[in-house]
């Protein structure tokens, strides 16, 4: 059997590497039109930073795992084609700012239709609106080379930073297919691939639309928990309660559970906001404005939280940060990844620059050029924004530190040394609640957390 995956990004790369590792008899080829990305997958410096990924790729690459730019060749040869291209939120036209931009999906579907001469199972891996499979099917139906297609939905639930662990040991694998004999057969073929390492009872099969919708709903529920605790963090700051204590107390209720209750400067990442906006758009399109408004509140609360964090910095520094040096520690949207999509750090840095602060960012894995491009736009420079090579360098001569990503190394910095090199009074804003505020205060810092 041959598998091809179109799109060598944060989802396609790690997912295919793990399939190749676990199924040595299957040839897995990951293709992308981005030649630089493919070259990186074939080098010692992978384009995606994920703990444990280097080892998986090293074992399978060249054996039954290949990275290539020959999109058409790989499609022609494959039995199963995973579609893992990006589906960003539309920035133009109808549904701008909310609907998913399906241009990459459509272009892939057209290529598959053109190139295929043998039966193919097409697997949607990207997060996409409900009923996208139908669009893909319609485009494939226009294929004139006589190939037959089955379209499946197989959403990926891995979280970045823990992708390899999540792929090795998923809570569940979800496969949606058409409820016809041919659809059932295709579902079984894909289920058999996963069953090599995932227990059968964790492989759930549904109809196509249920599977597509479940991905959006899972992410909406997870993000909703974060917005809920972040809403409470504002109340805690106003009243003197400690949000971590509240989260701990409510999380002990087994009906609520302890996970995803960490108050923060706001959720980021390529999925949560995009998927909720998508869900909101879907509800509006189906004439359900009350449902749309309900879920939109989750995104509104997240925007509020990011603004609230930078506003608190300005307020605490005597209502002006103009010409003050602020060290921003962390830029990735969470620890253990170099991904910055929708990172809260982007908004925090922009807000501080708008207040005329001098911002110095340090992140252990994000490249300086990416930081500059995310904040200012590609090729744009601003002398007020700089990138440091360490947390110590960033904090030297700073008036304040803002911890925006929960990298482990920020927990164990020598804060006494850092304090000594800062302007006084020295402030620290922990947007992730990872450092001990009492300890920092004892060192002399004016230290604030989120909701505490």
Enumerate binding residues for ligand UDX (CB under 6 A): 156-160, 219, 222, 226, 260-262, 264, 267-269, 271-272, 333-334
E strand or H helix at 39? helix 35-41
Closer residue to ligand UDX (CB): 222 or 282: 222
Q: Does 10 bind ligand ADP (CB under 6 A)?
A: yes
Contacts of 164 by beta carbon, 8 Å cutoff, 6+ apart: 14, 18, 50, 51, 52, 53, 56
For the bound state, the minimum distance from the C-beta of residue 158 to ligand UDX, rounded and expressed in Å, comes to 5
E strand or H helix at 121? strand 120-124
Interacting partner of 85 out of ligand UDX, ligand ADP, none (Cβ under 5 to 8 A depending on kind): ligand ADP
Closer residue to ligand ADP (CB): 163 or 213: 163
- DSSP annotation of 90: P
Stretch that binds ligand ADP, among 80-88, 196-204, 316-324, 427-435 (CB under 6 A): 80-88
* Beta bridge pairs of residue 329: 362, 403
First to last CA, the chain: 55
CA distances from 372 to 178, 256, 265, 311 (A): 46, 40, 20, 22
For the bound state, the minimum distance from the C-beta of residue 339 to ligand ADP, rounded and expressed in Å, comes to 8
Interacting partner of 385 out of ligand UDX, ligand ADP, none (Cβ under 5 to 8 A depending on kind): none
Q: Does 6 bind ligand ADP (CB under 6 A)?
A: yes
For the bound state, the minimum distance from the C-beta of residue 338 to ligand UDX, rounded and expressed in Å, comes to 12
Q: Does 351 bind ligand ADP (CB under 6 A)?
A: no
Interacting partner of 126 out of ligand UDX, ligand ADP, none (Cβ under 5 to 8 A depending on kind): ligand ADP
Q: Does 37 bind ligand ADP (CB under 6 A)?
A: yes
Closer residue to ligand UDX (CB): 41 or 267: 267
CA distances from 398 to 60, 109, 155, 158, 247 (A): 46, 52, 44, 37, 32
* Exposed / middle / buried, residue 44 (Cβ in 10 Å: 0-12, 13-18, 19+): exposed
Closer residue to ligand UDX (CB): 69 or 228: 228
Closer residue to ligand ADP (CB): 107 or 228: 107
Interacting partner of 140 out of ligand UDX, ligand ADP, none (Cβ under 5 to 8 A depending on kind): none
Stretch that binds ligand ADP, among 79-87, 259-267, 419-427, 433-441 (CB under 6 A): 79-87
For the bound state, the minimum distance from the C-beta of residue 27 to ligand UDX, rounded and expressed in Å, comes to 26
* Beta bridge pairs of residue 387: 361
Q: Binder to ligand ADP among 3, 32, 309, 410 (CB under 6 A)?
A: 32
- Spell 53-81 as b/e; 16+ CB within 10 A means b: beebbeebbeebbbbbbebeebbbebebb
Contacts of 441 by beta carbon, 8 Å cutoff, 6+ apart: 447
> Both tokens of residue 209?
């639309």
Contact 87, 93 (CB under 8 A): no
Interacting partner of 7 out of ligand ADP, ligand UDX, none (Cβ under 5 to 8 A depending on kind): ligand ADP
Interacting partner of 104 out of ligand ADP, ligand UDX, none (Cβ under 5 to 8 A depending on kind): ligand ADP
* Exposed / middle / buried, residue 159 (Cβ in 10 Å: 0-12, 13-18, 19+): middle
Q: Does 33 bind ligand ADP (CB under 6 A)?
A: yes
Near ligand ADP in 252-291, by CB under 6 A: 270
Q: Does 174 bind ligand ADP (CB under 6 A)?
A: no
Cα–Cα nearest to 161, from 18, 10, 335: 335
Closer residue to ligand UDX (CB): 126 or 372: 126
| Residue positions annotated with a catalytic role | 271
For the bound state, the minimum distance from the C-beta of residue 263 to ligand UDX, rounded and expressed in Å, comes to 7
For the bound state, the minimum distance from the C-beta of residue 126 to ligand ADP, rounded and expressed in Å, comes to 6
What does the alpha-carbon distance between residue 429 and residue 414 come to, in Å, rounded to a whole number? Answer: 16
CA distances from 110 to 103, 116, 117 (A): 11, 10, 14
Return the number of other C-beta atoms located less than 10 Å from residue 178's C-beta: 17
For the bound state, the minimum distance from the C-beta of residue 38 to ligand ADP, rounded and expressed in Å, comes to 9
Binding interface with ligand ADP (CB under 6 A): 6-12, 32-34, 37, 71, 84-86, 104, 107-108, 126, 270
């Amino acid at each position: 059997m041959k598998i091809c995956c179109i799109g060598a990004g944060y989802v396609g790369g790690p997912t295919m590497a793990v399939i190749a590792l676990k199924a040595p008899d299957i040839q897995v080829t990951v293709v992308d039109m981005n030649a630089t990305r493919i070259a990186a997958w074939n080098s010692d410096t992978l384009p995606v930073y994920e703990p444990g990924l280097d080892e998986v790729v090293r074992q399978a690459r060249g054996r039954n795992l290949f990275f290539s730019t020959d999109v058409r060749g790989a499609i022609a040869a494959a039995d199963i084609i995973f579609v893992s291209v990006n589906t960003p939120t539309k920035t133009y036209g109808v549904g701008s700012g909310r609907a998913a931009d399906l241009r990459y999906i459509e272009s892939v579907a057209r290529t598959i239709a053109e190139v295929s001469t043998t039966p193919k199972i097409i697997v949607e891996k990207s997060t996409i609106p409900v009923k996208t499979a139908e669009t893909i099917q319609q485009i494939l139906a226009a294929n004139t080379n006589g190939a037959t297609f089955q379209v499946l939905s197989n959403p990926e639930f891995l979280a970045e930073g823990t992708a390899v662990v999540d792929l090795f040991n998923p809570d569940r694998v979800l496969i949606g297919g058409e409820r016809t004999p041919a659809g059932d057969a295709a579902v079984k073929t894909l289920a058999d691939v996963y069953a090599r390492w995932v227990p059968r009872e964790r492989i759930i099969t549904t109809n196509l639309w249920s599977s597509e919708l479940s991905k959006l709903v899972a992410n909406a529920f997870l993000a909703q928990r974060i917005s809920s605790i972040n809403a409470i963090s504002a109340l805690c700051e106003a009243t003197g309660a400690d949000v971590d204590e509240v989260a701990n107390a409510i999380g002990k209720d087994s009906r609520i559970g302890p996970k995803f209750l960490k108050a923060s400067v706001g959720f980021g990442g390529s999925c949560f906001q995009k998927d909720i906006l998508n869900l909101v758009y879907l509800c509006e399109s189906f004439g359900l404005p009350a449902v749309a408004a309900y879920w939109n509140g989750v995104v509104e609360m997240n925007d509020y939280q990011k603004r609230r964090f930078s506003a608190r910095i300005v307020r605490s520094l005597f209502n002006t940060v103009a010409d003050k040096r602020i060290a921003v520690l962390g830029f990735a949207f969470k620890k253990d990844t170099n991904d910055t999509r929708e990172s809260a750090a982007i908004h925090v840095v922009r807000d501080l620059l708008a207040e005329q602060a001098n911002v110095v960012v340090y992140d252990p894995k994000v490249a300086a050029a990416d930081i500059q491009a995310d904040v200012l736009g590609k090729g744009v420079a601003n002398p007020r924004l700089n990138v440091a090579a360490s947390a110590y360098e960033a904090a030297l001569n700073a008036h304040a530190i803002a911890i925006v990503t929960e990298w482990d190394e920020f927990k164990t910095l020598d804060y006494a040394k850092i304090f000594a090199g800062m302007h006084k009074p020295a402030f620290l804003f922990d947007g992730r609640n990872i450092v001990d505020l009492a300890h920092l205060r004892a060192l002399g810092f004016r230290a604030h957390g989120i909701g505490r």
